[in-house]
Structure formats: C-alpha cells, structure tokens
Amino acid sequence: MPINVAIIGTGNCAKSLVEGVAFYSKNKEDKTGLMNPHIGKYHPSDIYFVAGFDIDERKVGKKLHEALNAEPNKTVKIADVPEYDVIVQRGPTCDSVIPELREYFIHESDEPVADVAQVLKDSGAEIVINYLPTGSDKATYAYAEAALIAGCSFINCMPTPIAKHPEWQKKFDDAGLVLMGDDIKSQCGATIVNRVLLNLLKMRGIRITKSEQINYGGNCDHFNLHYRPEAKEASKESALNSVLNPDDAKPSARMVYTKNNYDHKQAKIKMEGEMFGHIPVSIDLTLEDEDSPNSGGVVNDAIRAAKLLVENRRPYLAKELCAFLFKAPPAQFPDTEALQKFREIIKSLE
C-alpha cells in the first residue's frame, strides 16, 4: 500500500528526498544510510509522490522529475527517478519570497494560483511535506489549512513554529491527522553533532563557557537565510540550549552564505569549558556534508511514522516522536531519550 505524499517546494531538499526514495526502491536490501529500514510495515519504497507545488516558472507546469532537475537546484545526484506524471502546480507566494530571492534565484511564475486543497484531494495525497524557505510563516499556515481541508497530515521541515502551537496540534488531532515539526533535524548535521558533544561535556561535569556554531552554505536556502536568519538561528540555539544548564554560556548559531559552496555545507563548531579545578578545555571541529541529502533520510522516517500513527488512530503521539526528528519540537528531550521514545512508540504500533 503506497504512502501518497505531496511536496511544497520542489527545491534541493525535495530533489534529495525523491531521489533517495528511488534509490532504496531499486535497492531494497540496502540498509546503509537508513536510520530505520522499516517503520511498521513501511519501507522507503512505499513512499509515492502524487503532488507538487512551487512558484518558479522553471518548475510550475513541469512534470515532477523535470522540476526537480530544473534551476536553481544543484545538489548532488543520488539516483535517477521515475518519470512521474505529476504536474507541479503554482502555489501561493504569500511571504515565501523576498526581493533578493527574485533577483538572484526565483523566477516567479505568472500562472494562476492553484486551489491547493482541491489539488491535494484530487491527487489522493495523505501527507504534505513543507519545504518552503525559512521565514515563510504565512505561506506555511496557508498550506497547513489546505492540508486540513483535504484530510492530509502535515510535516513541517522548516523553522516556522506550528507543531509546537497547541491550537494547531488540536486542529490536526481532532481531524485524526498528524502534525509534525518544526525544522527537520539533519541525519548527521551540525546541530545534532553539536548537541551530542555538549551533552558529553555536561555528563563529564564540565561547565560550558562558550558554544559557537557557524554554518557556511551556498544553496537557495542559505541565500535566503542571509536575509532572514532569525527563525533558523533561534531554532538551532533552542536545540543546543536544551542540553545546557542555566550557568552555562548561551549557545550561538549563525548562517553564512558562500556562493561557491552550492549545496555543500561546512559547519565550524567551537566549544570551551572548565573542568576539574576550573582548568580550561576546548573542542574545535569542522563538519562537511551535502545539506539536502542530510535531511532526506529523516524526512523519509517522518513520512512513514506519520502514516503509521494515522492508521493506528494515534495522531497525538506525533508530539512525542518530534523530539527525535526535529530541531524545535513541541518538547525537547535528550537525544538518547528521544530515540528510545521514538522506538518504543513505533514498536507499540507494529
């Protein structure tokens, strides 16, 4: 039984997700890179893409596989994808594009805006993935409302706060649908690595005197973050602060746009502390990864978990799963505890 998924924003992250699903569909015995090869009875090959939305004229009106390979997408290729008959629809712009993005990255389509809820209904979509640019709060809420009308669960991969809001959670719970978010936690990204190291220092009795993270990247999202960093930086800082004590230094996280990096991200992490006798200790490291594929594996877990929750009529448990999958969930837990909770819930539904 396929899991029918709609994608908001056919950029680099969408490209990596769709190509990753295609790869594991062709290589079903390959478990490398999968956190959970199966969630319940669902394998990544059970995910099927039935709708897509964008605002760029190079993507709107194109078939999904064509849109994913259109400019300005430049992330590394994982695999060839099937030739989808799905046509990318013109979504509402709302607050998703700043003037600078129009100048350098986005060629806004003049096609009429589609009725999102009707497209979702007609496509048979069950789950909607939000890949809008950071800062697209009004657009995110508009798509979430359309998902509710269409009877779809909603996975918010971006920092717009929605999953942590009780009123939004209640709307989806009452409809028997899942709301997950906010801000997807990369499989092996700077924030999760930073959290693990900070947690290690805290376990060893070290007081943190400095915690700094600087992310360098050159994709469209990083360009957007150059002008609208607040929500993303707050999300990262909240995730890091959750493992610290009140007497520790407050963590900082900055996003820096470097054009030539494209989708290759370089994160500089620096932490300093005081150990036995107030003697200093410090860690400096550089993490390098391809930004969009790093999120794809986590989103593919979120999709399958959402399907499992809905079919077991336990959508409200999504709040507890979010701490493992997202940077700014409704409630933060230490990573080991979040993983244990995730596994326990999934096992109870199998």
pLDDT class of 308 with cuts at 50, 70, 90: very high
pLDDT score of 32: 97
Express each pLDDT in 20-74 by its tens digit: 999 999 999 999 999 999 999 999 999 999 999 999 999 999 999 999 999 889 8
Is the model's pLDDT at 104 over the cut of 80? Answer: no
Stretch(es) of the chain classified as CATH 3.30.360.10 = 190-290
Identify the bridge partners of residue 271 per DSSP, sorted by sequence position: 211, 283
| Rounded Cα distance, 200 and 206, in Å | 9
Query: What number does CATH give the domain 3-185+293-349?
Result: 3.40.50.720
- Helix, strand, coil share (%) of the chain residues, nearest 5: 40, 20, 35
pTM: 0.93
- Report the CATH fold assignment for 190-290: Dihydrodipicolinate Reductase; domain 2 (3.30.360)
276: helix, strand or coil: helix
68 half-sphere exposure, CB direction, 13 A CA radius: 30
Stretch(es) of the chain classified as CATH 3.40.50.720 = 3-185+293-349
203 in Cβ contact with 239 (< 8 Å): no
